[in-house]
Chains A and B, each alone.
Chain A
Amino acid sequence: MNKIRRPHNNQTSKRVARTHASPWLRNYFSGHAQEALSSLGKLWRAPFATLLTILVIGIALALPTGLGLGLQQTQALSQGWDGNPQISLFLKKTLGTKEIEKIQQRMRAHKAIETVEWIPAEQALQNFKTTSGFGDLLNDLTENPLPDVLILRPKTEQSTPAQLESLVNELAKSPEVDIAQLDFAWVKKLNAIINTMKRAALVVALLLAMAVLLTVGNSIRLEVQNRRDEIEVSKLIGATHAFIRRPFLYTGLWMGLLGGLIALALVLASLLFLQTPVQALAELYQSNFRLEFPGLLESTSLLIASALLGLLGAWLTVGYHLRQIKPQ
């Protein structure tokens, strides 16, 4: 009985904290580690509910991740053309070889043009026959449908978009030219499309991130309801909000992290599944384009982002629901 002693000062509340000031920090961290493990244990003991939640999170995160990776790689594919624009001059089919040579000389003399390459119509047809796979079909043609083409590379100091535009307009006016086409414009358009899609992917990502927040929030809300008695008693015997909130925040963090792992697995599985057909497609276009798997940086970012989303979802819900529980 003599173990119960009455405190002698009026600062009993702070007394407890002060008495254990030295091992306080160690105590704090071991408390956190224990809380983290016990939250994980609770998830493990309710495998079905946990699996359902983290699958929803995983699918919601896999979608924008896959989309983002795909767009990034498509853009990388187009990047190679960005630096050196070229102009294709499709010549009128009535021109003879001599006339074409004359045009070439004129082009070489042009102040804005660096190099000129002639692809004769015959050669173009041969190339097309070997690369397109329509070889046999093309053999049946009585005349060559393709025009002679001059590939011009503008001088780099003359390649601002405005200058290129005016050069193309000027070339298009010459009587021998059927069509003058700036390949750069096509790359620009592709980039514009990719940028638009990137924005769209961002919108999708934001919406799905909100879905993740709501999913985690809902699980946490149920968990708070299940542990209502414990929360009420804890409040009555002096638990701070931080103390009561902590296990739920860890639960949210784990859910986010596990959901992120599932998302990563889904993305990797999808890439593996797509790899062979994409490579076959790329080979048809003489491209050595390969699907890149997400690297360490991308994977870690995804996991950190998903864990933080889980934490945020828990944070937003638990504060509100804990305030609803008033001890009686």
Chain B
Amino acid sequence: MIRFENVYKSYPGGFEAIKNLSFYLPEGQMAFLTGASGAGKSTVLKLIALIERCTRGQIIVNHQNLTRMPERQIPYLRRTLGIVFQNHKLLMDRNVFHNVALPLLIAGFPRSEIGRRVRAALDKVNLLSKEKCNPITLSGGEQQRVGIARAVVTRPSLIIADEPTGNLDPALAQEIMRLFEQFNQVGVGVLIVTHAQSLVDKLGYPVLRLENGSSSSDAMLQADSTVQFSYE
């Protein structure tokens, strides 16, 4: 779950990326976060993963208050999230298996369990046959699926994805979205940042829209469809 309460984020120099943003994403809910470039979409994700800290307000992720979270706790917060990156951030110096195994190594899983879990995750994204390949030999869609396998291998309760279909053609994008829906069906919360409006419309999940005000550069929020998102 994610709860933002009157969150502000301003950068040195006075630029306000997020101004008075409040929303609530319940546990196990799938939703989209959209908005024009520069509206603060990436900033929201950075605040959720504590890559950045908010200037004012309160953020609660998986029942943990991020506002007062000490630096040394951050790794443990991130282990409860599955993060999918736009450019997938795979490591090209190791094969698919070892890329997916990295979060398990980091979390200190025993070796015996690592192999089993990695293969289960690769099976889910239909890449079990490619476990020995180097990611550089895979297609864009396959690379993104490896990235998704890496995000879900620790069985997180929440997946956040930053433009996961940004570099993919519509057919592949739809395939990726279907993967996320499958994870959501077994109770994993999913928040997807995207500007593929057609996909968002077609799938019918709640949408959080960030907008730059026409007269100011304030990031604003509109609750598009459901009660899960509220705007103050």
Contacts and interface: CB of A to CB of B under 8 A. Distances in A.
Contacts of A13: 64, 73, 76-77, 79-80
Interface in A13-29: 13-14, 16-17, 20, 23-24, 27-28
A237 B187 contact: no
A3 B49 CA distance: 24
A5 B186 contact: yes
A237 B157 contact: no
6 contacts: A7-B80, A12-B62, A12-B156, A20-B108, A240-B72, A243-B75
B91 A239 contact: no
B185 A10 contact: no
B154 interface: yes
B28 interface: yes
A233 B187 contact: no
Contacts of B78: 236-238
B155 interface: yes
A230 interface: yes
A268 to B, nearest CB: 39
- Chain A interface size, as a band, is 35 or more
A82 interface: no
- Chain B interface size, as a band, is 35 or more
Interface in B50-68: 51, 62-64
Contacts of A41: none
Contacts of A99: none
Interface of B: 27-28, 49, 51, 62-64, 72-73, 75-80, 83, 85, 89, 91, 93, 102-103, 106-111, 120, 124, 150, 152, 154-157, 182-183, 185-189
B155 A238 contact: no
Given A240-B75, A243-B106, A1 B89 contact: no
A7 B155 CA distance: 9
Given A4-B183, A10-B64, A14-B76, A236 B27 contact: no
Interface of A: 1-7, 10, 12-14, 16-17, 20, 23-24, 27-28, 30-31, 229-230, 232-241, 243, 326-328
A6 B27 contact: yes
B157 A238 contact: no
Given A3-B120, A10-B64, A327-B51, A238 B110 contact: no
Contacts of B124: 1, 3-4
Contacts of B62: 10, 12
A227 B178 CA distance: 34
B107 A12 contact: no
Contact of B51 (A28, A230, A236, A239): A236
A12 B187 CA distance: 15
A316 to B, nearest CB: 20
Contact of A233 (B76, B91, B111): B91
B76 A6 contact: no
Contacts of A326: 51
A7 B157 contact: yes
Nearest to A230: B91
A17 B108 contact: yes
B224 to A, nearest CB: 25
* Nearest 3 pairs of A and B residues by beta carbon: A10-B63, A13-B76, A238-B79
A46 to B, nearest CB: 13
Contact of A30 (B73, B111, B150): B111
Nearest to A234: B106
Given A236-B49, A237-B102, A4 B155 contact: yes
A16 B79 contact: yes
Chain A CB count within 10 A is highest, among B77, B85, B89, B109, for B89
A238 B188 contact: no
Contacts of A327: 51
A13 B80 CA distance: 6
Given A12-B80, A20-B108, A24-B108, A237 B150 contact: yes
B98 to A, nearest CB: 11
A238 B186 contact: no
Nearest to B74: A238
Contacts of B79: 12-13, 16, 237-238
Given A4-B188, A13-B76, A236-B83, A27 B89 contact: no
A41 B11 CA distance: 43
A211 to B, nearest CB: 31
Contacts of A234: 102, 106
B76 A238 contact: yes
A6 B150 CA distance: 17
